[in-house]
Amino acid sequence: MNAITGAYDWLTTGANWQGEKGVWHRLAEHLYFSGVCLAVACLIALPIALYLGHIGKGGALAVNISNVGRAVPTLAVLVLLTLTPLGEHGDVPTLIALVLFAVPPLLTNAYIGMREVDRAVVEAARGMGMSGRQLFARVELPLAYPLIMTGVRSAGVQVVATATLAAMAGEGGLGRIITAGFNLQNTPQVVAGALLVALLALFVEVVLVVVGKVFNPMRGRSGVAR
């Protein structure tokens, strides 16, 4: 395939990595968007989900918001936000859209994680005289941790993928290499950009899996079933 060897040539050409439109700059933009938005989304969604899970209310909201999110086309939201007055403020539409798309998986997984903690364990902790706060910090949170991290991972991959689409709405990030390739009808560049994006998404997934394992509060304890 010409495009494949062409993509290899494109990637191994140093000039394509330098400068304003180069890979390094686009990668930095991409990681900046993704990192900031994932952090903001976590700060918004996790406290709400953990609290709702702790008191055991709002389950329908937490689960349904994820289902509704599935039906909303990312591209449409990005373009709509770009055309509003917000669009004049550079990165703002992208940042808002990324946060919006990261919230549902975080909310749903954290809530379900909290609710799926074995009721018998919770009752036992209560019977030992733990206060609500102790119960939350020392029983529910550690046991819900694996599912919470699954949500963070979903959200992380989601954000990286959505940041790619931002390029179609004229924003920065690695997706710009792909859209620029389309505009130039330069298929090798399109394929090279796509490879970079796909690798970054997989890399982020792996990193988040490792981070989740390292910070697991139950790590090294015996009898961990999950």
Partner 1 sequence: MSEQNCLVTNDWICGEYVRSRSQELIDATVQHMGITAASVAIGVAVSLPLALLARRWRFLAGPILGLTTVLYTVPSLAMFSLLLPFFGLSASLVVTGLVLYSLTILVRNILAGLQAVPDEARDAAKGMGYGPLRLLWEVELPLALPALLAGVRITTVSTVALTTVGAIVDYGGLGSMILDGLDTTFKAQVLTASALCVLLAIVADLLLLALQRWLTPWTRVHRIRTNRPARAERTAKVAEPA
Q: Which residues bind partner 1 (CB under 8 A)?
A: 1-4, 67, 69-77, 79-80, 82-83, 101, 105, 108-109, 150, 153-155, 157-158, 160-162, 164-165, 167-170, 175, 178-179, 181-182, 187, 190-191, 193-195, 197-198, 201-202, 205
| Cα gap 43→97, rounded to integer Å | 16
Which amino acid does the sequence have at 224? V
DSSP tag of 135:
I
In whole angstroms, the minimum distance from the beta carbon of 222 to partner 1 comes to 26
| Cα gap 121→73, rounded to integer Å | 41
In whole angstroms, the minimum distance from the beta carbon of 3 to partner 1 comes to 4
Which tokens belong to 211? Answer: 């981070």
In whole angstroms, the minimum distance from the beta carbon of 22 to partner 1 comes to 18
Closer by beta carbon to partner 1, 31 or else 80: 80
> Whose structure tokens read 């990030």?
173
DSSP tag of 58:
-
> Whose structure tokens read 């390094």?
24
Closer by beta carbon to partner 1, 2 or else 222: 2
Which amino acid does the sequence have at 81? L
DSSP tag of 150:
H
In whole angstroms, the minimum distance from the beta carbon of 128 to partner 1 comes to 31
Closer by beta carbon to partner 1, 58 or else 87: 87
Closer by beta carbon to partner 1, 135 or else 148: 148
In whole angstroms, the minimum distance from the beta carbon of 25 to partner 1 comes to 18
Closer by beta carbon to partner 1, 50 or else 179: 179
| Cα gap 111→174, rounded to integer Å | 33
